[in-house]
Structure 1
Amino acid sequence: MKKILYYLFTKTIGLYVNLLSYVFLDKATQLAYSLFSEPREGRLTAAKLPKILQETAAETFQHNGHDIQTYTWKGNNTVILLVHGWESNASRWKKMVPYLKKSGSTIIAIDAPAHGLSSGKEFNIPQYAKSIDFIVQKFKPQYLIGHSLGGKTCLYYQSVYQNNTIEKMVILGSPSDFKIILDNYIAMLSLNSKISKGLEAHYLHHFKLKLEKFSAKHFATKIKTKGLIAHDTNDTVVLFEEGKKIASTWKNSIFIETNGLGHSMHDDGLYKKVSHFLFETE
């Protein structure tokens, strides 16, 4: 019943946007973009923080008119930055943090724009990357770990900012081709060609890249940092082939295929491999 109601809801929204496009195309396109870029889940309240975040030193930073929320497990001078994905927040790392803490490292998790305790209503990768750069400049992490769209944002960040302080990156369950994500959204709402072309023009104008180039596979070609990519064959949110695309162009990376973990990628065995990758002696 819930699936039927959700189907009817999405198609009704799509019909409204399509009808609006024949009268006010710009307004319809902006509405379609807002629906696409505003997360519906992942928010937190300071009064009800998950337990894993209550044990951290939480800090809120102001940058470009927005609040950026971070959580720090204090340790030594080795710093790891954790970057979550869409409709999530810093608490998603609760199962990985114990493995990283064994190294004695300082661990910092960030809430993305419009997620957790960070401010904003809109989420997009370039904006997220700006937040990451602000935190990187402040805390100088040697390691980046990203999940899902957080992983893709890490790849975008390093390809654009080329930060030499980043020694290694771990990318978990990350999508490659943004066009696939956008096309799925357009199909879900049955949006017409006017809206489809309008959305593509919006991204070209704001990101200065054609959608075909706004891909993690493309970003990876510019990255020299050593990387580990892990993707699960049973991931129904981001298909396994997306991880393979990234690995195919990231020359200085290794690829781990997992089975039965789904999109969350929570697994003791995987976390041990991640720790070994980060802290192995050369």
Structure 2
Amino acid sequence: MPANALVRTTLNAASRLATAPPGRVAYELFRHPVRRSRVRPAERELHDRARTAELLVNGKRTRVYRWGDGARPVLLVHGWRSRASRFTPYVRGLLDLGMSPVAFDAPGHGESGGRSVTILEYRELIGRLAEQDGPFEAAVTHSFGTCCTFLAMAEGVPVGRLASIAGLAEFTYLVEAFTAILGLNERLERDLVRRIERHLLPDAGDVWRRFDATRRPELVTAPILAVHDEGDDVVPYRQAQLLRAAYGEEQLRLITTRGLGHRRVLSEPTVVDNVLAFLAEPLPLPLPLRTDAAPAAPVTPAA
């Protein structure tokens, strides 16, 4: 029996007797990345060239990476079960543009300590790095890193422009996707929501509204490029459509790819080229919403 099917059968059956024990198991599975991604051979040389430092976030040792001379800093924010080294193609391109990439391995990921991470810990990291290295001329985000960065920007962290790749917009989708993947019943889903509110993110307010990247578009005025594959089976294409509806076509430029899925879209050369072209466009000072930018070249990758 596949692992997910075994978990589904065991937890759903146990929940008929008592919700608490299987609910605790589901909650622990939800908040832990389970496994850490390793640095790939193609990433190693540039990964090892970074200047590294550490920040302590909520008691967790967090690895920070910096390249370049510090001029024109650009923040790179990875997603769940990922790491900073996945942005290697962007680091190379940003250095060629005279920009200075800054990245981190979130707690529970890569070379950082801890076993779990929350959106608030991402938010703290982004804010503290903005104080040390910013203001950021731009940010490039992937997956879960997108909603974390939108939160930071909405709560005052200055970022000149944002490139979102396979980005998550709705915080509620995390629970929907998790329960769908494991096939959890409604009792366990409700129990998981309660545990997130009471234990994972206590005192954070209405987390389902606060952490929704589409809820307060007036607070994020930077130009946005969203790249999303129409067949993404991890973060559905609908999440990009929600972002476009919230921010409008004048502020948010959407590029749709085909055949790249959720992970390969990040490193696809045509995607990288379009993101770098977007970041290279002149920004006026101060950094308001641009309405006169030429559209990026279309992406037509092979399936």
Query: When the two structures are superposed, what TM-score results if normalisation uses the length of structure 2?
Result: 0.80
Seen in structure 2, the aligned counterparts of structure 1 residues 37 and 64 have a Cα distance that, compared at 3 Å, is closer
Corresponding pairs, count: 271
Instruction: Summarize the alignment of residues 103-122 of structure 1 with structure 2, pairs less than 5 Å apart.
Output: 103-122=97-116
Structure 1: distance between partners of 2:169 and 2:241:
9
> Corresponding residue for 1:233?
230
User: SS in structure 2 opposite 1:122?
Assistant: coil
Instruction: Summarize the alignment of residues 43-62 of structure 1 with structure 2, pairs less than 5 Å apart.
Output: 43=37, 50-62=44-56
Instruction: Summarize the alignment of residues 64-103 of structure 1 with structure 2, pairs less than 5 Å apart.
Output: 64-103=58-97
One of 156, 165, 168 as aligned partner of 1:172:
165
CA contact (8 A) 2:12 2:188 kept: no
Q: List gaps (5 residues or longer) in structure 2.
A: 284-303
Instruction: Summarize the alignment of residues 9-48 of structure 1 with structure 2, pairs less than 5 Å apart.
Output: 9-15=6-12, 18=15, 21-22=18-19, 25=20, 28-43=22-37
> Corresponding residue for 1:260?
259
Instruction: Summarize the alignment of residues 101-180 of structure 1 with structure 2, pairs less than 5 Å apart.
Output: 101-140=95-134, 141-159=136-154, 161-164=155-158, 166-180=159-173
Query: When the two structures are superposed, what TM-score results if normalisation uses the length of structure 1?
Result: 0.86
Q: Which digits, 9 at most, give the CA deviation of each residue in 1:56-102, with x for residues without a partner?
A: 11111223312121111123511011000010111111222221111
CA contact (8 A) 1:221 1:249 kept: no
**Percent of pairs with identical residues:** 23
Seen in structure 2, the aligned counterparts of structure 1 residues 180 and 55 have a Cα distance that, compared at 3 Å, is same
Structure 2: distance between partners of 1:21 and 1:188:
22
Shift of 1:262: 1.9
Structure 1: distance between partners of 2:84 and 2:207:
31
Seen in structure 2, the aligned counterparts of structure 1 residues 139 and 20 have a Cα distance that, compared at 3 Å, is farther
Which one-letter code corresponds to 2:224 in the other structure?
G
Which one-letter code corresponds to 1:269 in the other structure?
T
Shift of 1:213: 5.9
Could you tell which deviates more after superposition, 28-37 or 201-210? 201-210
Is 1:273 the counterpart of 2:274? The answer is yes
Which one-letter code corresponds to 2:181 in the other structure?
M
User: SS in structure 1 opposite 2:132?
Assistant: helix
Q: Which digits, 9 at most, give the CA deviation of each residue in 1:224-271, with x for residues without a partner?
A: 122111111222221112111111112422222222322121222222
Structure 1: distance between partners of 2:77 and 2:268:
18
Aligned-pair RMSD on alpha carbons?
Answer: 2.4
Structure 2: distance between partners of 1:149 and 1:258:
19
Structure 2: distance between partners of 1:21 and 1:139:
50
User: SS in structure 2 opposite 1:21?
Assistant: coil
CA contact (8 A) 1:34 1:122 kept: no
CA contact (8 A) 1:71 1:110 kept: yes
> Corresponding residue for 2:3?
6
Instruction: Summarize the alignment of residues 240-251 of structure 1 with structure 2, pairs less than 5 Å apart.
Output: 240-251=237-248
CA contact (8 A) 2:235 2:262 kept: yes
CA contact (8 A) 2:167 2:235 kept: yes
Structure 1: distance between partners of 2:223 and 2:186:
41
CA contact (8 A) 1:82 1:146 kept: yes
CA contact (8 A) 1:170 1:274 kept: yes
Seen in structure 2, the aligned counterparts of structure 1 residues 242 and 142 have a Cα distance that, compared at 3 Å, is same
Shift of 1:219: 4.8
Shift of 1:184: 2.9
User: SS in structure 2 opposite 1:96?
Assistant: helix
CA contact (8 A) 1:113 1:121 kept: yes
Instruction: Summarize the alignment of residues 188-203 of structure 1 with structure 2, pairs less than 5 Å apart.
Output: 188-203=181-196
